[in-house]
Amino acid sequence: MKNFGILRARGVAVKTAVVTAAMVAAGSANAALPDWATDIGEDLSGAVTDSAALVGPVVALSIVSVIVIKLIKRFSSKI
């Protein structure tokens, strides 16, 4: 039973080392993406930005319209 604490501490150290090694390996794997993958990421980013620019004003106008209609209903009943 005396060795349990020592073994547990070593187990934690081993797990930490394994996780650290996996993270380093994943980081280096991400750095070596092919050109086509990088291009797809940039194209997708551009498409999302363009879509947000087109849809954003419509969503904002819809929200403002709903708020104005609710306020008109609320205050017109008090007149």
pTM for the whole thing? 0.44
**54 phi and psi angles, rounded to 5 deg:** -80, -40
Query: Tens digits of per-residue pLDDT, 66-79?
Result: 999 999 999 888 77
Query: Tens digits of per-residue pLDDT, 9-54?
Result: 566 677 777 778 877 776 665 566 778 877 888 899 999 999 999 9
Could you give the C-alpha distances from 22 to 11, 25, 28, 34, in angstroms and in order? 16, 5, 10, 21
